[in-house]
Amino acid sequence: VVVIVVVVFDVQVVFFKVVVEVLLVLVGVILSIMLKVIVVDLNKVCWSLSLLTESSSLSSVVTSEDQFKAYMNTILVFINAQLSLSANNSIIVIGCKSKKSAVLYPSKSPRSEQPHDDRHFLFAEINSTILDAISEFMDDCDEDDNESEESNLAGAISKALCCINKRRQSVPFQSSSNTATTTTSATSTSTATSQHQDHVPNDHAELLSSCTIISVSKENSSQYFPLMNAIFAAQSHNVTIDVCCVRNRNATLEQATHITGGVYVAEELSPNQLLQTLISLYISSPASALIRKPVMDEVDFTAACMCHGNPITQGYVCTVCLSIYCEPRRDCLICGCEND
């Protein structure tokens, strides 16, 4: 009899813990204001190489354009899915290419002056605004944009952190439960048109934020230091960075996900495969903490030297500031200390 009573008591305790966890998740869904910043790599050269077919006929060019549109539509479906989870979700879209990054959504010039209650209308408005901004952003290019296979991801992540910090300033209450391992997103969809950036949350709101990067470009060793600075800034501000590399692997972005507790996927994905990956791994909500995400078995911690920006696995370290060099130097470029 005593054994039966103990077993029943243990079952009741476990059931009570499960109920409490579910209630906490529901409270988080109600009170949380969720912001997801999506950084889209729009490097023309990399997309062209990614979509290039063996044939160089005119039909293959048309097919490549259609495939690019399919990828962009996939990202829009992902955005709509993120917004559909809760009325407290909102997004910011940032585009980047070789030497430039810009906020594509919300737009500085709103199309609708009056808010609309129809969610389908709001989604159509968001989709159209983002597609127009992408087209304008890619058409506004320099000569170097047509040659470089590297993108200004450091500037894009810095803009993302600035947008998140600006939105946090409008939230009077911040909970300490927003940890770096929490994968989440952003503010309110009821004002999902351009008016939503002026939305003032309630006094008990908690802003949960994350950054998702969709990358196709090669790793830019010259941006290693500003990129790492942005990554550590995201870690200190409890911003999770998730990365999906559609074409080229990126060791620095892999380190970013490891440092901030995000998800890293690097595979050659078709539009349908990309959609499945984004929906299953990168959708953010307070319940995301209960979902088991893939964990990297190995992380590439390749660093770049301070002198040339080249990736190295072995090098020379300054004894004062710990700067790394690929060749011995008498004086450090960072701290100026003389080394023997």
Q: pLDDT tens-digit profile of 264-298?
A: 998 888 888 999 999 988 988 766 666 677 777 77
Query: Higher confidence at residue 82 or residue 218?
Result: 82
Determine if the peptide bond prior to 294 is cis (ω within 30°). Answer: no
Cβ pair 215, 250 in contact under 8 A: yes
Of 32-41, 143-152, 217-226, 324-333, which gets the smallest average pLDDT?
143-152
Q: Is the pLDDT of residue 160 over 60?
A: yes
Interval 235-267: pLDDT, tens: 999 999 999 998 888 888 999 999 998 999 988
Work out the mean pLDDT of the chain and round it to a whole number.
Answer: 76
How large is the average pLDDT for residues 174-178?
Answer: 43
Could you give the dihedral angle defined by the CA atoms of residues 158, 160, 163 and 166, in that order, rounded to the nearest 10 degrees?
A: -60
How large is the average pLDDT for residues 13-19?
Answer: 73
Q: Is the pLDDT of residue 114 over 50?
A: yes
What is the distance between the alpha carbons of residues 40 and 98, in angstroms, rounded to a whole number? 12
Of 205-209, 255-259, 268-272, 328-332, which gets the smallest average pLDDT?
205-209
Q: For position 95, what pLDDT does the model report?
A: 94
- Residues with Cβ within 8 Å of 94's Cβ and at least 6 positions away in sequence, in order, are 37, 38, 39, 40, 101, 102, 103, 104, 156, 159, 160, 163
Q: Is the pLDDT of residue 177 over 70?
A: no
Q: For position 184, what pLDDT does the model report?
A: 35
Amino acid occupying residue 337: C
Q: For position 322, what pLDDT does the model report?
A: 77
Q: For position 145, what pLDDT does the model report?
A: 58
Cβ pair 39, 94 in contact under 8 A: yes
Q: Percent of the chain at pLDDT above 70?
A: 72
Sign of CA dihedral 142, 144, 147, 150: negative
Of 51-60, 211-220, 229-238, which gets the smallest average pLDDT?
51-60
How large is the average pLDDT for residues 216-240?
Answer: 87
Of 5-19, 42-56, 209-223, 240-254, which gets the smallest average pLDDT?
5-19
pLDDT interval class at 183 (50, 70, 90): very low
How large is the average pLDDT for residues 64-70?
Answer: 83
How large is the average pLDDT for residues 101-106?
Answer: 92
How large is the average pLDDT for residues 38-61?
Answer: 68
Cβ pair 228, 183 in contact under 8 A: no
